[in-house]
Chains A and B, each alone.
Chain A
Amino acid sequence: MIRHHLLRRLLNVFVIIATGGSLSAQDQSPTESDYYRLLTLPIPEELVLEIGGIELLPGGKLAVATRRGDAYLVENAMTDPPENVGYRRFAEGLHEILGLDYKDGSLYATQRCELTKMIDEDNDGLADVFDTVSAGWGISGDYHEYAFGSEFDAEGNIWVVLCLTGSFTSDAKYRGWCLRITPDGKAIPTCSGVRSPGGIGRNHKGDMFYTENQGPWNGMCSLKHLKPGGFVGHPGGFRWYDITDAIGPKPLEPESGSRMHIQAERIPELVPPAILFPYAKMGQSASGIACDESDGKFGPFTHQMFVGDQTFSTVMRVYLEEINGVYQGACFPFREGFASGTLPLEMMPDGSMIVGGTNRGWGSRGAAPFSLERLIWTGKIPFEIHEMHIQPDGFELTFTHPIDASTAENLASYTLETYTYIYQASYGSPEVDHTKPAIKKAIVSDDRKSVRLIIDGLQIGHVHELHAEGLRSHDGLPLLHTAAYYTLNELPE
């Protein structure tokens, strides 16, 4: 018992240093797991399952693909609690699979060198035919040259985002570009300016997005809209405009040391990031993307996007809106504590989310080398900022529960700060150009489900970091996550 006592004492000392005492064992506040619980799918000891792609097959079998290049069919993956989960190898030896989808009886794997259709002709559970659908891009032998593939879009295309050679250059064809691979295997150049993706996925409208990681020309990790014809920020792959006119002539070179929104005024093709994920606040390596189209089976966040962070082993939540034809919106913390570095996310038809993890080569908070987990809504609705809308003079926040008007109207319940990042050729950027806009007024709606913040000093091109520490629900609960980070590209009329 002495030992136990000592342990408690020591733990307390450090917890207090770390959090300023805001967390303590006595605190009965609800936690993330009260609303979204994590199920761990057991993985047999002899399997190395560094997940790069996930797909649910007709009949309920789950297919997963790995960075080692294998694909497995997982039986009973959707049991709760997991029972008799079995793995059977479907294919092996592909080159780092980072994208998996299913169509007409075949699995499609995006691997480093090509998009491959894997067919099990004799129905014995093993792929027998590997058809090269497209090898429309190059590889030079640099490990950095990853290829992330989307699922099929409405036209039957798979979108592939191609990491540069290293961080700065494009030594092989279309590195640093996004290509669309048509059903007949044509590779259509779609966007330039990609640096180092961590995932790709579409929203409920069918528009495609990918996650970009901090590095040259990217002060910060972000979610970027793959608008056909767009240039998404890194000029390292500009040389390939010489071999295609699919998206018009080469844009102007961005000027290093500037700001993204200033360069966007000069360069019409430049599409600013829809969401900036503030470094070390939201995460450090943005990864997989999923959109909630479960009609409420995953909780109250219908049509919102969910984005992984590999370093933090988290899933973040993103609310997007389109203003003057440009995507922007807010990101919120959502769920932490995944076992390994979260990479692909996949929404299941039952409204749960399968999350694959790996931390090979890049460390993560979740210390397991790899993991396969399922995130399930418990049916309880957390008190969260539901949506965050830009308005000409401020923001409108909507909530998942009715709010307490007195705390919501009290300006002391909020803090707001803005900043942006240097748009530069060298690696990353600190936060710069900080401002503190004044919140003039907080107006609660009649139904007590939203509040309008009237703000003096909104900043185009900045992240607006809002904390609503003081706000309470009608039932007296604080927000489960008090922070919201809104990326402001455009002001509405």
Chain B
Amino acid sequence: MTFHFRGNMTQRASLITSGLVFSFLWGVYHDTLAQEIIQPAHVPGYARLLKDDGRLPSDNQPLAGRILLGELNCISCHPADEATLASSPILSRSAPVLDQVGSRLRPEWLRSFLSDPHVFKPGTAMPDVLAGMNDDERKSTVEALVHFLASTGAVTEMMTDRTAIERGEARFHQLGCVACHGPRPLDRQLADASPSAISEAAPSTDQNNPADSDTDDDDDDDAPKTYDPGPSSAAYFVSLGAPAKKYSLLSLRQFLLDPLLVRPSGRMPAFKLTEEEATDVAAYFFRDVEMNPNVSWTYYEGTWDSLPNFDELKPAAEGAAVGFDLSPAVRKNQFGMRFAGFVHLATAGTYTFHLGSDDGSRLTIDGKEIVNVDGMHPYQQKSQPHDFAAGIYPVVVDYFQGGGEWIVTVEYEGPGLPRQPLASAVTLTADDKPLKTVHFDVDPDLAARGRALFGELGCAACHTLRENGQPIVFPSHDKIPALTQLNPRAASGCLGENPKSNVPRYPLTSTQLQTLQSTIASLKNRSDQKSTDAQLTAMAQERVHQTLAVFNCYACHQRGEVGGVTRDVNEFYVTTTPEMGDEGRLPPTLTGIGDKLTLDWLRHIFNEGTNDRPYMHARMPKFGLDNVGLLVDEFPKLDLVAATERPESIEPDHRMKSNGRFLVGGKSLSCIKCHRFGPHAGTGLSSIDLATMTQRLREDWFYRYMLNPQDYRPGTRMPAPWPFGQATVRDILGGNATQQMLAVWRYLEEGPQAAVPSGLIAEAIELIPQETPIIYRNFIEGVNPRAIAVGYPEKVHLTFDAENCNWALIWHGQFIDASRHWTGRGNGFQRPLGDHVLGFDSRPAFAFLENENSPWPASSAAEQHVQFRGYRFDKKRQPIFRYRLPTLSVEDYPEPLIDESHPEPGWRRTVTITSSSDSSDAAAPLWFRAASGSSIEPQDDGSYLVNHALRIKITRAGDVQPVVRTIDNQTELLIPVTLDDGKAKLVIDIIW
């Protein structure tokens, strides 16, 4: 098999392969026998410098050349002296570190990739080092290399579950992976996004313009009919190949936890994923891999606030699943699942188990409870070590869901085992074999030969591979000419037409090739003239541009006119708080960033990544200070605006700070309405934290920003606190805007330790009925939103449900705290402040039943034509609720009932029914349901005890007999209603 590189031959083409789009000229480098088209090295930073037609503007030539030198890592073989690099930095992308590569990559993948890197992994920048060999030689070389690489470790398989894959899909799309890799499935997304992106060299057009469909519309209207859908980034997407063929789930997850360990040059940044997040994202790439069920499950429905004893319950469904998978659940609330299987622990030792869930769960192994996170709570995780002898043990995971989010994760780690899902070691029966390491017989002789070849062929020039801490060396390294001594047009060199057999081959477009050649030539002719200030600025600008292009910062961030989230991926940038608009979901601009952020914060961001905007799902990953640190120097050089001096305070510092605290608080500028302050959420929104502000921002920038935020963030929702430089708060610091800004800054400099501004910690607003009852119509916990809470001076209270026209809650003691609804926007439901809270069935109290065995109607109040009409007050300003049924109107009158024999008051409920029509021939008899529950027991005194808690006495009902009946496990106390002269009256006393 021979390869020819014909750099002077070009072909215009456009195609989609592996979901990636190319639409430019390239030099064809192909297998003349197999006619396989080779794709050129895909270098996103370089692609960004091309025009739509694939041409490279001559202005961009030197920069493009340096980007290629860096991305192809030319200087790992051809050294460059420091002087050269100082004036023309090359941000070299080092090849992946191959320490223990055998534990990361599958041997079959290594074999395919090394045999034909450019066909097998289109777009790779790895050269074909074996291109000069004949077929036999190549085959045996590859085999030796594979055995050597496989000898450094073994790939361990891992298992996960379907729900992890679903979470992984969301995480992959929302964390920001799509900025560089594009959404999945890629082909469909791109086809949907814009047909123009795949047509040849077409500039973006108005493909989305609906007006285009009116083709025969003779347009004499000069209004603009087209709009720009925005640029596409499809040409910069980096292919992911097929990760499931390359990695195991475990090794991909380990890679994602810190990609910089393997790829130290930061092109793939670290998103600081948690263990669970890394598992989910990795699992997403294993979605098409078939796995056999290894856990049996049983599914239950019910309402619990802690784990029930599943042994006593009858399952609603059962089956087998892959991993601890909640997706068989039929409903999203009020269910439980028990998983069972056998865990294989191969070696004796201490294992640590990590169990996390929302709501509660419990892990039991060999009959012993290992970890317990029972109860109703948001996602919560606990870890517990436990010693086990080697063996196979029965394992049970119990889980229940109340409401809201639902998730359970079970992981373990142990002797020689990295942390991973426990499901990997679980089987359906004790006899099944668990997943294990990928079997590959390493031939020691072949491996030894491979090790030698790894050095000799030059693999070691780019790839670090340490054995016992010592890297393998490339012995011929010093024989290779330095970068500035190269003849880039030499026919026998790596860029030549007839390369020598031992030089690597790079898949390059003709444009890439010419760019490299002319850049290398220009490095030789470099002059050391002194630069003017303007030239220095231009050079700084170019270094910044180079860095932002190479690291694809532009995929998320705009700086000047370049970059920003594109139409291909825009929809995946989402937020927890849609009301914040684009500011809540799109990464911030980098225009002026060197003026805005402190040097320390820039360093911190590059070193650690950040999540300063927790409402934004996309995360700022860690690129590594070693990789992008030059931005810390260059951003301020370019961006800093001449600083003004900090003004002198007109008050002592402690007073400045207290004034600042007042200004930030809810009775003044109310910054805390929209900004978080340390652990305290803002009262309206919770945008970026005030408590870390002075750590992040430059003081000078802060003052200028405050004067007009729109100048710095066009379209921001941040209002100008001092519009036109004027103070709106006139009684603080003499209404002096400058001093007020200074006061805010001084106060915020105390950081998270600063005293919390007023209005942030909601003080209770307890409503206390004094002489007359208090009406409080609002959202009450456990009641339809159309709720009317009424507090009585007698310290007995109720909530009437104005949708269903029935009592909803009754309680004793304190009435209610209104602070939830009267502070901030008033979101959410408030529970009563008092005690002894009892709830009623939410359905209407009246119904027309065919006979006494007809079930109480389940249809809504509206469907039964039960209609709330309002309320009126009696002389004591106690409300009398009024509602209507077909042909009837009702007054429902609660009065506190003082009963000496009982410590707290009860209720007297007087219900008056009046016929509102002449026709008395109602469709069916009318019934009043006085109570319902799991038990209703008639008592000796004629009352009824409901649920062993509530005593009901029917004081007046006319000449009728109440009925206690049980239908579908529910017991009801019904009173038939007969109208006498168009009227009926029921009186019921309630004590609890």
Contacts and interface: CB of A to CB of B under 8 A. Distances in A.
Interface stretch (A227-235, A261-269, A394-402): A261-269
A11 B724 contact: no
Given A68-B822, A262-B211, A215 B579 contact: yes
5 contacts: A114-B802, A130-B871, A258-B209, A262-B211, A360-B822
Contacts of B824: 360-361
Interface in A129-165: 129-132, 135, 139-144
Interface string B724-758: 11101100001011110000000000000000000
A13 B715 contact: no
Please classify the interface of chain B as helix (H, G, I), strand (E, B), loop, or mixed, using the class held by over half of its residues.
loop
A111 interface: yes
Interface stretch (B91-99, B114-122, B668-676): B668-676
A66 B327 CA distance: 47
Contacts of B62: none
Interface of B: 208-211, 221, 223-225, 227-229, 570-571, 578-582, 584-585, 644, 647-648, 650, 666-671, 673-674, 683-684, 703-704, 707-708, 710, 714-717, 719-720, 722-726, 728-729, 734, 736-739, 774-779, 785-786, 788, 802, 818, 822-829, 867-873, 877
Contact of B673 (A257, A261, A361): A361
B119 to A, nearest CB: 39
A365 interface: yes
B209 A367 contact: no
Contacts of B667: 367, 369
A79 B321 CA distance: 77
B738 A13 contact: yes
B779 to A, nearest CB: 5
B724 A18 contact: yes
B647 A10 contact: yes
A6 B826 contact: no
Contacts of A215: 579, 581
B785 A92 contact: no
B669 A258 contact: no
A113 to B, nearest CB: 5
B883 to A, nearest CB: 9
Interface string A62-93: 00000011000000000000000000000011
B650 A7 contact: yes
A363 B650 contact: no
A256 to B, nearest CB: 9
Contacts of B737: 11, 14
A250 to B, nearest CB: 18
A120 to B, nearest CB: 11
A284 B719 contact: yes
A255 interface: yes
Given A93-B775, A255-B208, A143 B670 contact: no
A263, A361, A363: which has the most chain B beta carbons within 10 Å? A363
Contacts of A422: 227
A132 B739 contact: no
Given A10-B738, A17-B704, A359-B670, A143 B826 contact: yes
A262 B210 contact: yes
Contact of B582 (A10, A94, A426): A426
A249 to B, nearest CB: 20
A144 B827 CA distance: 8
Contact of A11 (B683, B738, B825, B827): B738
A492 to B, nearest CB: 14
Given A13-B738, A459-B224, A460-B223, A428 B826 contact: no
A432 interface: yes
Interface in A419-435: 422, 426-428, 430, 432-433, 435
Given A215-B581, A459-B224, A363 B669 contact: yes
A433 B227 contact: yes
B734 A7 contact: yes
B725 A255 contact: no
Contacts of A259: 224, 227
Contacts of B585: 426
A473 interface: no
A238 B786 CA distance: 23
B802 A14 contact: no
Contacts of A262: 209-211, 225, 227
Nearest to A313: B728
A53 interface: no
A409 to B, nearest CB: 27
A130 B790 CA distance: 14
B221 A460 contact: yes
Contacts of A3: 650
Contacts of A13: 644, 647, 738
A114 B221 CA distance: 46
A461 interface: yes
A311 interface: yes
